[in-house]
Structure 1
Amino acid sequence: MQVNVFKIPQQGPDDVCGLAELVEQGRIDPASIVAILGKTEGNGCVNDFTRGFAVQSLQQYLAEKIGITAARRIIYVMSGGTEGVLSPHLTVFTREPAQSAISPRWGLVLGTHHTRDFLPEEIGSLDMVHTVADGVKAAIAEAGLEPEHVHFVQIKCPLVTAHRTVTANPSAESAASVLSDSYKSMAYSRGASALGVAIALGEVAPDHITAETVCRDYEIYSRVASTSAGVELRNCEILVLGNAPTSTSAYVIGHSVMQHALDTQAIHRAIAQVEQPVDQIVNIFAKAEADPSGYILNRRHTMLDDSDISHTRMARAVVGAVVASVIQDPMVYVSGGSEHQGPPGGGPVAVIARRVDLRS
């Protein structure tokens, strides 16, 4: 396959002008779009409707080009929160058949999957973990990837609103943990989805994960999972990215794991993996979390004690500034809440770059 990646600035959640311009120029065939990741400027919490607004705007524009059914098949992952220097933008992934004139080479490939819808009481449950694991495996197979060559798995997952709890079964597994707190349900949804990735990639054995593991045993995690919860969907949308020798893409991906929010060395390791100059980086994708221990580099932090601003918002601002400072570009994708995504207080970081030795 041939995968292309485009990063497009946005002036607001409903701004599709940049995408439309690339379509009009013939640089993007809208029928080839398989996934769009976005950073929107809301609060990133339960009531962040900029995510749904952005998806609605994109679907409306693309439906006019390729039809509503095709537009809805695209993976939309809108991550709310552009605190600090983070700049709103879209990252558009296209996939087309390999061109016969281009020889296969080591490069970027991708796979996608939509799971079934989840009931409110299933959020954070083992059923969710294993359903996501099956979905990730399906996406890996679609991409033609080996698990060890997967560098990033991005998932958009649902949450539980107060309205949805009316139809929930309060005696079901995990219900007591998530049904009483919409914000907590975001963490459980992210955590269960990340554990599904860990199972799919063989990072942890399925029998090592129980219902009590989710959002409790943070020593169990995936090194490549990035999950983001939102009110705008009820299923999980999965995007798997990695490198394969069958690619004809001009792009490559690498990753590392940040041990804490200030871990610039991990960012440099991820950049080193792609073996390309910094000016060839298309985007960096990272997770952010306020260390649950209350300390960072043996110094006390107060992010978890602030009742005015969510700790996920503070963490995004910190990691966003750290990543942006390394590549001198604030238009990076940093998502808050890294339950079971990297070690406590840290998280995966992935880099996509264009190969300078290729013109196609």
Structure 2
Amino acid sequence: MPSLAIHRLPMAHPGDMSAVAALIAAGTLRAGDVRAVIGKTEGNGGLNDFTRGFFTQSLMLLLARETGESVATLTARIPCVLSGGTEGALSPHYLVFAVDRAVAGPRGLALGTAFSPPTPASEIGRDAQIAAVTQAVRDAMADAGITRAEDVALVQVKAPCAQAPGAEARSSDPRLLMALSRAAAALGVALALGDVAEAGEGDLLRDLTKYSNRASISSGIEVVANEVVVFGYAEGWAPGLTAGVAPMADLLDLPGVVAAFRAAGLPADPSVPADQRHRVLGVIAKGEPEKAGHIRGARHTMLGDTDLDAQRHLRGALGAIVASVAGDGQVFVSGGAEHQGPPGGGLVCVFARG
């Protein structure tokens, strides 16, 4: 029977493994217990963002040295979900999720992981990817021992993309393909959890009424399959940790952000009091610029700026809101929230100690 531990660690640069190495050296973390990693690197978040792959390579080399397993074996079983872009108040950091199977409990926060088969460019943004993610979510739930979809708090997916898609791909534009990959993964999650009754590739980026409030998706060329991490509640896991999740109606939805912190048992009003911030173990937020070009009737220019990508605007703005509630810039804020929460909105998940 397992127990989940969450370590939020800083990084001085994308290859800086000193914080996790120190935990291992002190005996606080066993390298073999690492089950998943979710983090923010300081790259541009685009197709050419090398910081994500650099971090993953550095981490797997460290874990290989500590465990004796090969890098290939570790990479195939430990999802490493990296999102580039730490604009504004955001701080580069990563969350290490470790599972100690020697510690049991009656019911607690559980973690499960799964990988889909490798996804070629021809399947990205198509029904095949949606189906693959749906099955991977179910596999991850089974891995965690979560038997009911309503007990799932959040599904984090790292979905693949292709820098040179080829003629067989759904789009020759790698950026559009990245968005289609996120969208397909999100609807795969929605189907697995019963958040939508049916969905197909024709719905991607079109029918935005189909979404899941429990899906957080990133995509990138550094992965070749859909890497899935499921968080929820299951019997046999040690108690003490919570995951509070809430949707945001739009980019300015401070009450929605606060609701996620309160769902995690934190007295945010609207910020978490200084003496309670040590309980915050990690924050994940997804957001999306409103496609109509307005927020609450006021025009925004995120989508028309030729100097800065819209997602960089989004991360800087949403990051300031979420970090101000958390009282800490070490929050995971990612753009590209297609089918992840209400259109023009998104979601927030807060991991906290009870």
Query: TM-score, normalising length from structure 1?
Result: 0.92
Q: Indicate yes or no: 2:191 matched with 1:189.
A: no
* Cross-structure match for 2:25: 24
Which segments of 5 or more consecutive residues in structure 1 lack a partner in the other structure?
170-174, 356-360
* Cross-structure match for 1:43: 44
Instruction: Decide whether the 8 Å contact of 1:10 with 1:16 is kept in 2.
Output: yes
Report the secondary structure of 1:247's partner residue.
Answer: coil
Distance 1:237 1:57 in 2: 18
* Cross-structure match for 1:235: 225
Q: Report matched runs for 1:37-186 at 5 Å.
A: 37-66=38-67, 67-68=69-70, 69-72=72-75, 73-99=77-103, 103-105=105-107, 107-145=108-146, 146-162=148-164, 164-165=165-166, 168-169=167-168, 175-176=169-170, 178=171, 180-186=172-178
Distance 1:271 1:22 in 2: 27
Instruction: Decide whether the 8 Å contact of 2:145 with 2:235 is kept in 1.
Output: no
Instruction: Tell me by how many angstroms 1:247 deviates.
Output: 1.8
Instruction: Decide whether the 8 Å contact of 1:109 with 1:249 is kept in 2.
Output: no
Instruction: Decide whether the 8 Å contact of 1:243 with 1:253 is kept in 2.
Output: no
* Cross-structure match for 1:272: 262
Question: What percent of counterpart residues are identical?
Answer: 42
Instruction: Tell me by how many angstroms 1:71 deviates.
Output: 2.3
Distance 1:30 1:70 in 2: 14
> Deviations for 1:48-90, whole angstroms, at most 9, x for unmatched residues?
1110011011111111111215422211001111011100001
Instruction: Decide whether the 8 Å contact of 1:84 with 1:321 is kept in 2.
Output: yes
Report the secondary structure of 2:202's partner residue.
Answer: coil
Instruction: Tell me by how many angstroms 1:303 deviates.
Output: 0.2
Instruction: Tell me by how many angstroms 1:249 deviates.
Output: 4.2
Q: Which segments of structure 1 move beyond 4 Å, counting only runs of 4 or more?
A: none
- RMSD over aligned CA atoms reads 1.3
> Deviations for 1:141-168, whole angstroms, at most 9, x for unmatched residues?
1111221021111100111212x42xx5
* Cross-structure match for 1:309: 308
Q: Indicate yes or no: 2:275 matched with 1:285.
A: no
Q: Which AA in structure 2 matches 1:292?
A: K
Q: Which AA in structure 2 matches 1:133?
A: T
Distance 2:329 2:296 in 1: 24
Distance 1:292 1:200 in 2: 27
Distance 1:301 1:320, change over 3 A: same
Which segments of 5 or more consecutive residues in structure 2 lack a partner in the other structure?
none
Report the secondary structure of 2:37's partner residue.
Answer: strand
Report the secondary structure of 1:191's partner residue.
Answer: helix
Instruction: Decide whether the 8 Å contact of 1:38 with 1:78 is kept in 2.
Output: yes
Q: Which AA in structure 1 matches 2:255?
A: Q
